[in-house]
Amino acid sequence: MTHTPPKPLLSKSELAQKIDHTLLKPNFMATEFDQVCNEAIQYHFKTICIPPTWVAQGMRNLNGSHSEVITVVGFPLGYSESKSKALESSIAIEHGASEIDMVINIGWLKNKELKKLEDDIKIVALACGKTPLKVIIETAYLTQDEKLTAAKIAEHAGAAFVKTSTGFATGLAPGISAGATLADIQFFRQNLKPSTKIKASGGIRDFAMAIEMINAGADRLGTSASVAILNGLTNEGTY
Q: In whole angstroms, how far apart are CA 223 and each of 21, 36, 235?
A: 6, 12, 10
With beta carbons less than 8 A apart as the criterion, state whether 151 and 159 touch: no
**CB of 125 within 8 A of CB of 159?**
yes
Question: Can you list the alpha helix ranges (DSSP code H) found in 95-164?
Answer: 106-110, 114-128, 144-157
- 9 to each of 14, 21, 45, 216, 224, how far by Cα in Å? 9, 20, 17, 12, 22
* Number of Cβ atoms within 10 Å of the Cβ of 183: 12
Shortest CA distance to 15 belongs to which of 3, 7, 27, 23? Answer: 7
Round to whole Å and give the CA distance between 55 and 69. 7
Partnered with residue 198 across adjacent β-strands are 162
Q: Which residues are catalytic?
A: 101, 163, 199
